[in-house]
Amino acid sequence: MLTSTTPEDLAEEGQSSTYRCWATAYPLHETSSIPLGSHEAPNPRLALRWLRERTRNVTDQLDMAYAQPGRYWLRDETEHERALACLTTGTAYQLTLHDENTRYVLVAYPPGATT
């Protein structure tokens, strides 16, 4: 017998059907991190859109030399397709940027993935 699983069925079973996204800053020599935002997206494309928006926010705050990797990533359509493929096949995607004092981690987790 074939059955289909709807988002409502997953919610009843305690499984989320959303893509969880978050961004966090980890200052060097500090014991606590700084949350930069989180989001739940209904599909991988919207999760990637959120990552792009947060990456743009982070790179806008960095000095030019440290912003370059993030700006390059924002224009890298091949890497965006790779990120979508990861999310679509159930693998989390992470982007890490840094400056001299802080590491910035931006992540999207597909439904069912553990953090």
**pLDDT of amino acid 115:** 54
Return the beta strands (E) in the chain as ranges.
19-27, 34-41, 93-98, 102-109
Q: What is the mean pLDDT of residues 7-30?
A: 74
Inter-residue contact 70 to 61 (CB < 8 Å)? no
What's the one-letter identity of residue 103? R
Q: Domain map of the chain by residue range? A: 19-109
Query: Is-above-0.85 flag for pTM?
Result: no
Please determine, for residue 3, whether its predicted confidence score (pLDDT) is greater than 60.
no
What pLDDT, in 10s, does the model give residues 42-84?
Answer: 999 999 999 999 999 999 999 999 999 999 999 999 999 999 9
